[in-house]
């Protein structure tokens, strides 16, 4: 871990090396340790110590970017030179909003010493407990357990400096029997809140209950979706809630703000300051993150903004800028996607999953979705498979496991048919955040195909 | 570099490793992207670091760092051993890598024009010309274009005595037009979706793409798709164009033949595979015209290299011969495991050379190289003329497959109805779905070598922590009978 003092020093060296009109540096520090297991033993076990500096310079409205993980004076100066050379060649960007002045950011605690100090032996002990449980039940466990320290910092030539150290632990496990599987996952910035033994037991119970799955005709069924499946819905809905996608007509939100598109039981928001998630109190321009209500009791709310899109549309930034380049998570960078929510939450309701199941005369209980992809953006039509525990519900009870089904379903329409919302929010790790979602009961979900297992 | 590699290997050995290797990797990436006439990103990226992989107490450990200093190399090598020792506490059979691989060599991918020698002005001008041509077409809401040049220099050394230096140069580019009206959104990409096509080679690859020359065409297609008829829902004959077929090969042949996936290593992530070892050599994967090969030696392929990331030479490995499943993508460890499973001599087991890491900070996993559908006999015109009723689909828009790689559903950007041997009607929102061996079993024609080329897939995901691999697929258009199309109709 570099610490605030060293990171501030790196930022100062970058800013001092630049003669541009404006200069910004975003610094990522990472110490990631991940233990992976399969067939009831550890088969991969890795560690990464990394840092990256993303330098953006502006000559008037001409902007260039360079990234490096060489923190020597030579390395940082070369990055500044490369960014400056790119800026000189770049045509003026009429939408460039300039870099922000220093803006107060209230810190949020999200660093846990125990998580930061978690050792390979600690993770092996926790993973070993899952594997032993599985062996005792005659099934095989696989999964991954990760404990990481991240540092995020933004500094610019107007004097802005923001720094946030944080930890995260996340564990996923899939347990397989001969013809069935079960899944469980958890995440928190405190490792003590990730209950490996409990998650292992949950996945084992699902795998054992799923033995001898029966084929089921595709069709439209009422469903009870576990929070793992709902997390996928929340992820797609919120990934299309950025101002750029909405403006370009590539979002389910386009032209629909203020309309009631979903059940009044559904509220979805993004909150980068909530300590129950994985808080990161500022965005990658150094702006404070604000809570944004994307869906409020079924009514389409607001998209999230960075400064560029706020300026274009006469709004203020909600603190959702992505880094222009992100060497540690290349798929999470700005440009193609524009501003995006990283800390989505679907509000909890008042029902237990058992109550949802009891309310279904004939339908399906789905643990999770697999390999979901956008078929059409207008109504967020998604296709994917069920996986790791799909069961038939008859007369209010789970009766038999069923073979996995393919669905092709508008997630917007799905959320319009929500009848019950779970009272428990489960935390699941996403790219740069933790997503929280409850279980849901839907009156209709469209399954369009079946597989052989 | 030898000073660093010796230090890492000596440290690992001293700490108790029975095997160790180190990769030192320097990667430079230049990215230029434009959007609606403005520069989206003009950026240079550099990353350098090293990863040490060890076997200690019979188990694997890996550690990596961006700080190439004496102290850090020693710390990382020692940490890799400590991690391996922790792995061993939840271990099974000791790691067996089979016979040693000892190679001292250098390799570089060839190019005609160094992409880093071409000015940023020229690159920008090319993209802006294509962007302008797309936006001249009425109805286009968003035009985007991007170019990527990448050069990776890596040094591999192992305690078995290998010392290999490689330089891989890649170039990619592409454009996309989005057309939007009040009820519909359509996109067209060239030469491939997901931003670009990419290959090993030089700037000549981008020159051959002629992005500005294709811009107006794809923009017009995007606009025409807004009012096109939807793909019907029926069982019919399907002809896949080259880039969609490349993705079909990727998902339904490439991934399921990864032997680590087959043996459960990916069970908790994207899943396992239906191609279990009992099927090897006997299972009918496809029709007799289906021949699939993993070829890391094909010129220009995005999965082309001299040695994989555990120091095994690049090879050409048959996967499917005349429709029969005959081979896997393998590593040293899994080749030995497979031999033992099949009662073969593990001392003779050799890796097929498919271990690849996405960077210095990742362990090598079994990854695709260039997974190629070998060319058949048909010309494309004859194939269309020979089709009485069907649909031609091209350029992927969505893709999904189950966790054993059986049930798939793919959507394409564009499709045409075929009637009486002619493409007669533009269709939008095209989708097809099937079960992998049934689908490949229905393949009755593959176009010939004149239509065959290698396409790049620079976005192949696998592993935890995630790795994005650059892989290739050589294909020519092919025909499939009795395929379900048009699941979504709007």
Q: With an 8 Å Cβ cutoff, are B464 and A36 in contact? A: yes
Q: For residues B16 and B11, what is the distance between their CA atoms, to the nearest angstrom?
A: 9
Instruction: Give chain B positions within 8 Å (CB) of A28.
Output: none
**Architecture in CATH of B2-227:** 2-Layer Sandwich (3.30)
Instruction: Give chain B positions within 8 Å (CB) of A452.
Output: 406-407, 435
Residues forming beta bridges with residue B153, ordered by sequence position:
B26, B167
Q: A88 CA to chain B: closest CA distance, Å?
A: 10
Select from B66, B175, B363, B438 the residue whose CB has the most chain A CBs within 10 Å, as the one to mutate to test that interface: B66
Taking 80 as the threshold, does the pLDDT of residue A29 lie above it?
A: yes
Taking 80 as the threshold, does the pLDDT of residue A314 lie above it?
A: yes
Helices H / strands E in chain A, number of each: 10, 19
Q: A307 CA to chain B: closest CA distance, Å?
A: 15
Q: How is residue A296 written in tokens?
A: 């409020």
Q: How is residue A135 written in tokens?
A: 């062996």
Interface A:B, Cβ pairs < 8 A: 271
Of A128, A336, A408, the CB nearest to B90: A128
Of B62, B403, B487, the CB nearest to A448: B487
CA-nearest residue to A142 within chain B is: B268
Q: With an 8 Å Cβ cutoff, are A375 and B411 in contact? A: yes
> What confidence tens digit (pLDDT) does each residue in A342-363 have?
999 999 999 999 999 999 999 9
pLDDT of residue B490: 43
Q: A181 CA to chain B: closest CA distance, Å?
A: 10
Q: With an 8 Å Cβ cutoff, are B83 and A406 in contact? A: no
Residue ranges matching CATH 3.30.2290.10 in chain B: 2-227
Instruction: Give chain B positions within 8 Å (CB) of A129.
Output: none
Check: CB of residue B314 under 8 Å from CB of residue B295. Answer: no
CA-nearest residue to B184 within chain A is: A378
pLDDT confidence of A413, banded at 50, 70, 90?
very high
Q: With an 8 Å Cβ cutoff, are A335 and B361 in contact? A: no
Q: With an 8 Å Cβ cutoff, are B60 and A43 in contact? A: yes
Residues forming beta bridges with residue B378, ordered by sequence position:
B447
Q: A69 CA to chain B: closest CA distance, Å?
A: 5
Q: With an 8 Å Cβ cutoff, are B398 and A375 in contact? A: yes
Of A38, A121, A372, the CB nearest to B265: A38
CA-nearest residue to A36 within chain B is: B464
Q: With an 8 Å Cβ cutoff, are B83 and A47 in contact? A: yes
Does residue A373 sit in helix, strand or coil?
strand
Instruction: Give chain A positions within 8 Å (CB) of B178.
Output: 248-250
Of B87, B141, B399, the CB nearest to A42: B87
pLDDT of residue A432: 72
Please report where in the chains the tokens 């699939």 appear, as a residue. Answer: B292
Instruction: Give chain A positions within 8 Å (CB) of B38.
Output: 91, 93-95
Own/partner pairs, A253-257, CB within 8 angstroms, 24+ separation: A253/A294, A253/A300, A253/A303, A254/A378, A255/B182, A256/A300, A257/A300, A257/A301, A257/A302
Across chain B, which has 490 residues, the per-10-residue mean pLDDT values are: 97 98 96 92 92 98 97 98 98 96 98 97 96 98 96 98 98 97 94 94 98 98 98 97 98 98 97 98 98 98 98 98 98 98 96 98 98 98 98 97 98 98 98 98 98 96 96 98 80
Q: For residues A307 and A100, what is the distance between their CA atoms, to the nearest angstrom?
A: 9
Q: A452 CA to chain B: closest CA distance, Å?
A: 8
Q: For residues B56 and A371, what is the distance between their CA atoms, to the nearest angstrom?
A: 36
CA-nearest residue to A44 within chain B is: B60
Structural domains in chain A plus CATH codes: 4-206 (3.30.2290.10), 213-450 (no CATH)
Residue A447 Cα distances to A384, B153, B401, angstroms: 9, 48, 15
Number of residues assigned to chain A: 453
pLDDT of residue B359: 96
Instruction: Give chain B positions within 8 Å (CB) of A65.
Output: 41-44
pLDDT of residue B292: 98
Taking 80 as the threshold, does the pLDDT of residue A327 lie above it?
A: no
Mean pLDDT of A60-66: 94
Select from B41, B255, B432 the residue whose CB has the most chain A CBs within 10 Å, as the one to mutate to test that interface: B41
pLDDT of residue B40: 87
Q: With an 8 Å Cβ cutoff, are A453 and B433 in contact? A: no
Q: B450 CA to chain A: closest CA distance, Å?
A: 32
Q: How is residue A34 written in tokens?
A: 């991940």
Instruction: Give chain B positions within 8 Å (CB) of A123.
Output: 86
Q: B483 CA to chain A: closest CA distance, Å?
A: 13
Q: B9 CA to chain A: closest CA distance, Å?
A: 17
């Amino acid at each position: 871990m570099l610490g605030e003092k060293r990171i501030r020093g790196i930022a100062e060296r970058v800013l001092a090396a630049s003669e541009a009109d404006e200069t910004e540096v975003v610094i990522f520090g990472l110490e990631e340790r991940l233990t992976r297991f399969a067939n009831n033993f550890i088969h991969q076990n890795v560690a990464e110590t990394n840092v990256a500096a993303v330098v953006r310079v502006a000559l008037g409205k001409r902007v260039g970017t360079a990234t490096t993980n060489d923190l020597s004076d030579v390395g940082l100066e070369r990055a500044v030179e490369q960014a400056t050379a790119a800026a000189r060649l770049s045509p003026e960007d009429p939408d460039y909003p300039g870099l922000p002045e220093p803006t107060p950011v209230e810190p949020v605690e999200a660093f846990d010493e125990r998580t930061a100090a978690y050792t390979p032996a600690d993770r092996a002990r926790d993973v070993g407990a899952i594997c032993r449980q599985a062996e005792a039940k005659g099934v095989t466990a696989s999964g991954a357990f990760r404990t990481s320290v991240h540092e995020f910092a933004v500094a610019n030539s107007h004097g802005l400096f923001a720094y946030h150290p944080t930890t995260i632990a996340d564990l996923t496990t899939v347990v397989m029997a001969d013809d069935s599987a079960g899944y469980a996952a958890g995440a928190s910035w405190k490792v003590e809140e990730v209950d490996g033994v409990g998650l292992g037991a949950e996945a084992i119970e699902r795998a054992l209950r799923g033995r001898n799955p029966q084929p089921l005709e595709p069709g439209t069924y009422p469903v009870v979706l576990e929070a793992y499946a709902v997390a996928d819905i929340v992820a797609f809905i919120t990934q299309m809630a950025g101002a750029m996608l909405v403006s370009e007509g590539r979002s389910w939100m386009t032209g629909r703000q203020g309309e009631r598109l979903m059940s009044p039981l559904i509220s979805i928001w993004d909150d980068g300051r909530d300590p129950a998630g994985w808080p990161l109190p500022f965005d990658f321009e150094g702006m404070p993150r604000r809570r944004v209500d994307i869906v409020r009791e079924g009514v389409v709310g607001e998209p999230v903004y960075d400064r560029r899109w706020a300026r274009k549309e006469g709004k203020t930034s909600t603190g959702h800028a992505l880094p222009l380049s992100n060497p540690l998570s290349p798929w999470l960078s700005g440009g193609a996607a524009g501003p995006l929510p990283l800390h989505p939450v679907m509000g909890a309701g008042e029902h237990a999953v058992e109550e949802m199941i009891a309310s279904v005369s004939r339908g399906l209980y789905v643990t999770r979705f697999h390999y979901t992809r956008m078929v059409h953006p207008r109504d967020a039509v998604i296709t994917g498979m069920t996986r790791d525990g799909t069961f038939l519900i008859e007369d209010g009870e789970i009766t038999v496991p069923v073979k996995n089904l393919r669905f092709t379903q508008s997630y917007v329409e799905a959320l319009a048919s929500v009848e019950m919302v779970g009272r428990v929010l489960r935390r699941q790790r996403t790219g740069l955040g933790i997503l929280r979602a409850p279980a849901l009961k839907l009156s209709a979900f469209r399954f369009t195909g079946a597989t052989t297992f | 570099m030898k000073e660093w590699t010796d230090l890492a290997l000596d440290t690992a050995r001293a700490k108790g490793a029975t095997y160790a290797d180190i990769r030192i990797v320097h990667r430079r990436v230049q990215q230029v992207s434009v959007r609606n006439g403005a520069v989206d990103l003009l950026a240079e990226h550099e990353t350098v670091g090293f990863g040490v992989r060890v076997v200690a107490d019979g188990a694997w450990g890996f550690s990596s760092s961006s700080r190439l200093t004496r102290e850090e190399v020693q710390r990382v090598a020692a940490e890799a051993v400590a991690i391996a020792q922790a792995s061993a506490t939840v271990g099974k059979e000791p790691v067996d890598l089979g016979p040693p691989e000892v190679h001292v060599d250098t390799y570089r991918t060839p190019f005609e024009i160094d992409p880093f020698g071409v000015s940023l002005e020229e690159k920008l001008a090319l993209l802006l010309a294509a962007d302008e041509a797309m936006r001249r077409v009425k109805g286009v809401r968003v035009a985007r274009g991007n170019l990527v040049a990448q050069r990776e220099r890596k040094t591999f050394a192992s305690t078995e005595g290998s010392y290999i230096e490689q330089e891989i140069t890649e170039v990619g580019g592409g454009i996309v037009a989005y057309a939007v009206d009040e009820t519909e959104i359509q996109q067209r990409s060239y030469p491939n979706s997901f931003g670009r096509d990419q290959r090993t080679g030089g700037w000549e690859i981008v020159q051959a793409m002629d992005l500005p020359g294709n811009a107006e065409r794809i923009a017009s297609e995007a606009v025409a798709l807004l009012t096109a008829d939807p793909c019907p829902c029926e069982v019919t004959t399907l002809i896949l164009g080259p880039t969609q077929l490349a993705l079909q090969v990727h998902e339904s042949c490439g991934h399921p033949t990864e032997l680590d996936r087959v043996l459960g290593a990916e069970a908790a992530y994207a899943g396992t595979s239906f191609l279990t070892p009992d099927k090897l050599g006997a299972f009918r994967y496809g029709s007799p015209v289906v021949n699939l090969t993993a070829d890391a030696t094909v010129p220009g392929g995005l999965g082309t290299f001299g040695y994989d990331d555990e120091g095994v030479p690049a090879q050409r490995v048959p996967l499917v011969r005349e429709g029969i499943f005959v081979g896997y993508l393998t590593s040293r460890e899994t080749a030995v495991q497979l031999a033992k499973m099949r009662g073969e001599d593990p001392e003779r087991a050799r890796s097929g050379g498919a271990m690849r890491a996405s960077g210095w900070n990742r362990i090598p996993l079994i990854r695709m190289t260039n997974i190629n559908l070998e060319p058949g006999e048909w010309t494309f015109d004859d194939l269309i003329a020979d089709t009485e009723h069907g649909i031609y689909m091209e350029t992927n828009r969505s893709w999904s497959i189950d966790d054993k790689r059986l049930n798939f559903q793919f959507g394409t950007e564009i499709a045409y109805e075929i009637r009486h041997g002619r493409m007669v009607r533009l269709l939008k929102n095209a989708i097809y779905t099937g079960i992998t061996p049934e689908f490949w079993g229905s393949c009755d024609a593959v176009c010939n070598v004149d239509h065959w080329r290698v396409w790049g897939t620079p976005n192949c995901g696998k592993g935890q922590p995630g790795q994005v691999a650059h892989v290739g697929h050589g294909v020519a258009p092919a025909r499939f009978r009795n395929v379900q199309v048009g699941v979504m109709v709007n």
